[in-house]
Chains A and B, each alone.
Chain A
Amino acid sequence: MATNEENIPSYQDLDFYKSQRRLALANCGFIDPESIEDYIASDGYQALSKVLTEMKPQEVIDEVKESGLRGRGGGGFPTGMKWQFAYDASGDKKYIICNADEGDPGAFMDRGLLEGDPHSILEGMIIGGYAIGADEGYIYIRAEYPLAIKRLEKAITAAEEKGLLGEDIFGSGFNFKLQIKAGAGAFVCGEETGLMASIEGERGMPTPRPPFPANKGLWDKPSNINNVETFANIPIIIREGAASFKELGTEDSSGTKVFALTGMIENTGLAEVEMGTTMREIIFGIGGGIQDDKEFKAVQIGGPSGGCLPDEKLDLPIDYDSLIEAGAMMGSGGLVVMDENSCMVDVARFFLNFVQSESCGKCTPCREGTRRMLEILNRITQGEGEEEDLELLRTLAESVKKLSLCGLGKTAPNPVLSTLRYFEDEYEAHIKNDECPGGVCQNLLPGYIIDYEKCIGCTYCIDACPIDVVDGRLEEIHEINEEDCNACGACEPECPVDAIIQKNYIEHFPQYRHLLEEDEEEVEA
């Protein structure tokens, strides 16, 4: 023991780690991801050896079914069933694909896994290939993850050298090879059929289903796609057994889930918890709460396909179904935490702007619907919203949801619908009162005023104002023309005596009461 070790917290004492259950992330931060030997030392490829030498493909599928594992990339479809479809499909050539096209704003779970423990994904894929009868696999990964790609390439080369990829693996007669396909950064390529089109060298556009990829996928062959985290769970299930995996989590969502914590949260990072943990525990326990002691307003979960949940939904035990019920979705696990200074209309606008730009344009409801919805949201955030807008937004949202071709369009209205559901008062404040409660929407912000008791007449603010609405002369008290001030805030930091304040702040601070009283007197007069 080092001489001065007392009073140093251990990992188990840290709020960030104490309620985590690291299964998929178990090796991350402990092994050298570029060393296959490190992975093998921590029981790596043991699951593969068990599968290839002791189990029939159907037994592998049954084990995965038994575990209750559901797809970690979004919708939560049971992985075992997906494998069964691909196994049952007739065809001499099949493909297994890993979807590593992680594109949700604020999400980096897959990147953490790929960079920290790439072999676990390889092992999961080889097992999956054996189970469905595929001898070839693709990892579709976004080009914006160069380090993850580099580590995957190293991992594949090392596995080939050790004979864990290639021909007659473990003397079982099973052959398997793996390739990486770097995506060019279109969000829609995370959609199964769009992804496969992209691998084929086509433009990344989804196709109608059926035919499902399990029957007619990549190059028209039966194919199976799973997410990075899903594959990372496979070796664990095989090694530890389906029963022990199923012990974790809730009845319908077994195991753990990795979440990426971002936004106005104290501890940003990657956390893995048992399914059924509450959002409150993740944000206020593991995440350490909100930065700068501000108030929590909402958490955006599931990226552009997900929704915003308010405080009263934080005690919900997280699983796939509870989140759908609450108007969000698990998605891939990105959590963006927002504080009192966020505008929920602006957040909805941000996500809608994202999906609108990423819409591939193939189907009309998504291409046109999201554009019209975005126009309405732009109007509202600019203070030009009308009362009928909310009804119109709801109608459009329902249509886009029902009629779009693929998951991108079907889920695109979720951020709008969930903010309308929980924060309708903010929409109304924008439309009816020309106010932005979060203080974000520029056009709706109250202008600035000058505290005449502090002003020294230095003219700095006059020089700073880009639209010349500050009046005054050197060494005389200055005044901002409130009517014309557009609240850009350029003058505020220039003032050497902090005499410039935004008007909505004055009522909250006793030291500005004199300014407020003056206002009231004016009204009375």
Chain B
Amino acid sequence: MRSVAELDNLQKEVQSKLEKQAEQAQLIIGMGTCGISAGAKDILTALETELEERELEVIVKKTGCIGLCEKEPLVDVKLPGETRVTYGNLSVEDARRLISEHLENGNIVRDLVVAKMEE
């Protein structure tokens, strides 16, 4: 980084890249130590396998802990133009339901939901 302008340009570039990504469906999974110890790695594998089998183009994003360790593992579903919805205390089977019910059919899986994230 040689100048402020260089940083500003990079910021604009990645921001527009992230905006582009928002036009695609996203799965966001909490991968802090708390999430992983609650089973997030198995869930991540299950989600990736399921997406591949169903040939779905979805961005899978890994984040740190959002604080709600009690409800880990947490997975959020964000469809383009809709609010991000957080699901918690998930089993591998639950995670697959998020794909078939919410991601593919747009129905919030009410029995697993923790909250929605309004901007």
Contact = CB atoms under 8 A, between A and B. Distances in A.
Interface in B68-119: 68-70, 79, 82-83, 85-86, 102, 106-108, 110, 113-118
Secondary structure of the A contact surface, majority rule:
loop
A170 B106 contact: no
B83 A5 contact: yes
A511 interface: no
Interface string A1-42: 111110011111110110010100100111111100110110
- For chain A, the bracket of interface size reads 35 or more
B64 A28 contact: yes
A169 B3 CA distance: 8
Contacts of A2: 79, 82-83, 85, 102, 106-108
Range, interface on chain B: 35 or more
A29 B66 contact: yes
A49 B9 CA distance: 13
B19 to A, nearest CB: 10
Interface stretch (A109-117, A241-249, A382-390): A109-117
A272 B34 CA distance: 17
Contact of B10 (A28, A40, A270): A40
Contacts of B2: 163, 168, 170-171
A164 interface: yes
Nearest to B117: A11
B115 A8 contact: yes
Contacts of B66: 28-30, 116
A267 interface: yes
Is chain B's interface secondary structure helix, strand, loop, or mixed overall? mixed
B11 interface: yes
Report which residue of B14, B15, B32, B108 has the largest number of chain A beta carbons within 10 angstroms of its beta carbon: B32
A82 to B, nearest CB: 28
Interface string A434-459: 00000000000000000000000000
Contacts of B61: 32
Contact of B62 (A32, A46, A53, A272): A32
A10 B118 CA distance: 6
B113 A8 contact: yes
A29 B63 contact: yes
Interface string B1-18: 111100100110011011
Closest 7 CB pairs of A and B: A116-B64, A29-B66, A269-B69, A270-B67, A163-B1, A37-B14, A41-B14
